Amino acid sequence: SGFLLFGIALVYGATGTFDIPNMAAIVASAQTIPSFFYVGVLMMLVAMCFKVAAAPFHFWSPDVYQGSPTLVTAFMSTVVKTAAMAAFIRLFSVFAPNNVAGSWTTILAVISGASLLIANFTAATQQSVKRMLAYSSISHAGFMLLAIVSNTTNSFSAILYYTMAYSFGSIAVFAILNTVARAQDGDETFSAFHGLGKRNPFVAACMVIALLSLSGIPITSGFFAKYFVLSGLFGKGFSWLIITAILCSAVGVYYYFKLIIAMYFREPKKAEAISFEPVHLVAIAITTAFTIALGLFPESILRMLA
């Protein structure tokens, strides 16, 4: 918050306004911009990267996710992250003109690549499902930042579509994790999901749909979300970033599929069925339905968000 406030103060000192449209007009028309303006932009960039848990400002995220109640973690990973991303692109769309964009675009591209690499390879080594989801959240933040790097007219709608696909999948996974962990005496490791396909077939099927979407398997909403984001980078000189994102997505498939294997190919610790509260079942069913709908009509939904 201190970095953000200091950055805003420096940008205000350079432009003389807090109004975002006026700021954009001043930045676009200025012949010369004071050097401390760029310092302010970079300070705001650091603050917003911390808020969305992008590397190397991500260290708080796994511990907070693991230490918080599961429903609070679900709220942080969806609503809070969506709001932070909206603020991120709202602020940095101001600095799109060529006389400013170069000062932060390359830095943000490096941050996006680092987030993808660090988060995915670290998530693959986790034993706690909640910590794995925390690192996957960092990875998804890296993907969403790619849309800001591309700076296209569709960047905002691509981020909105991505946050919708990610949020619906995450809510379903966290809602299932909340009940499964309680049924397993607080166990939040992969072993808690052993045999869930037999103990509650409906919930396990919803979990599979959510995980397939989060991993970006083709024809799911997660696949189209990543496609819309990456397509904006083509022709922008960030081929290395596109390759990094695709390779990291393959790593993501590995750790998401570990959960699917645990549900269907591992024997459960307890044989009795896991019962879910009706409100949780309704939430899981609704988010699963929205995940399917986003994957069936991606272009229509993207046009609605434009």
Q: Give the HSE-up count for residue 153: Cα atoms under 13 Å, Cβ half-sphere.
A: 2
- 171, 70 in Cβ contact below 8 A? no
What was the pLDDT predicted at 96? 66
- 232, 158 in Cβ contact below 8 A? yes
Write out pLDDT tens, residues 236-291. 888 999 999 999 999 999 999 999 999 999 888 777 888 888 998 999 999 999 99
Q: What is the DSSP letter of 277?
A: -
Q: How many CB atoms lie within 10 A of CB 220?
A: 25
Q: What is the mean pLDDT of residues 157-182?
A: 91
What was the pLDDT predicted at 120? 94
Q: Which of 57, 81, 97, 19 is nearest to 8 (CA)?
A: 19
Q: What is the mean pLDDT of residues 24-43?
A: 85
Q: Which of 305, 4, 20, 1 is nearest to 163 (CA)?
A: 305
Q: Is the pLDDT of residue 50 over 90?
A: yes
What was the pLDDT predicted at 224? 93
Across the chain, which distance is largest between two alpha carbons, in Å? Answer: 72
Q: What is the DSSP letter of 248?
A: H
Taking the C-alpha atoms of residue 61 and residue 80, their distance in angstroms, rounded to an integer, is: 12
Of 54-68, 152-166, 273-287, the range with the lowest mean pLDDT is: 152-166
Q: Is the pLDDT of residue 302 over 90?
A: no
Q: What is the mean pLDDT of residues 111-130?
A: 94
Residue given tokens 């690549």 in the structure block: 113
What was the pLDDT predicted at 148? 86
Averaged pLDDT score across all residues of the chain: 89
Q: Is the pLDDT of residue 99 over 70?
A: no
What was the pLDDT predicted at 100? 66
Taking the C-alpha atoms of residue 160 and residue 304, their distance in angstroms, rounded to an integer, is: 11
What is the percentage of the chain residues whose pLDDT exceeds 90?
51
Q: pTM higher than 0.85 for the full model?
A: yes
Q: Is the pLDDT of residue 306 over 80?
A: no
For every residue of 74-131, DSSP letters joined together read: HHIIIIIHHHHHHHHHHHHTTT-SHHHHTTTHHHHHHHHHHHHHHHHHHHTT-SBHHH
What was the pLDDT predicted at 98? 56
What was the pLDDT predicted at 29? 81
Q: What is the mean pLDDT of residues 86-90?
A: 85
What was the pLDDT predicted at 269? 75
Q: Is the pLDDT of residue 47 over 70?
A: yes
Phi, psi of 56 (to 5 degrees): -95, 30
For every residue of 178-238, which 3-state class applies, written as one string?
Answer: HHHHHHCCCCCEHHHHCCHHHHCHHHHHHHHHHHHHHHCCCCCHHHHHHHHHHHCCCCCCC
Taking the C-alpha atoms of residue 267 and residue 263, their distance in angstroms, rounded to an integer, is: 8
Q: What is the DSSP letter of 275?
A: P
Residue 173: pLDDT band (50, 70, 90) is very high
Q: Is the pLDDT of residue 233 over 90?
A: no
- 207, 173 in Cβ contact below 8 A? yes
Q: What is the mean pLDDT of residues 296-304?
A: 87
Burial (CB < 10 A; 0-12, 13-18, 19+), residue 114, is middle
Q: Is the pLDDT of residue 234 over 90?
A: no
- 224, 298 in Cβ contact below 8 A? yes
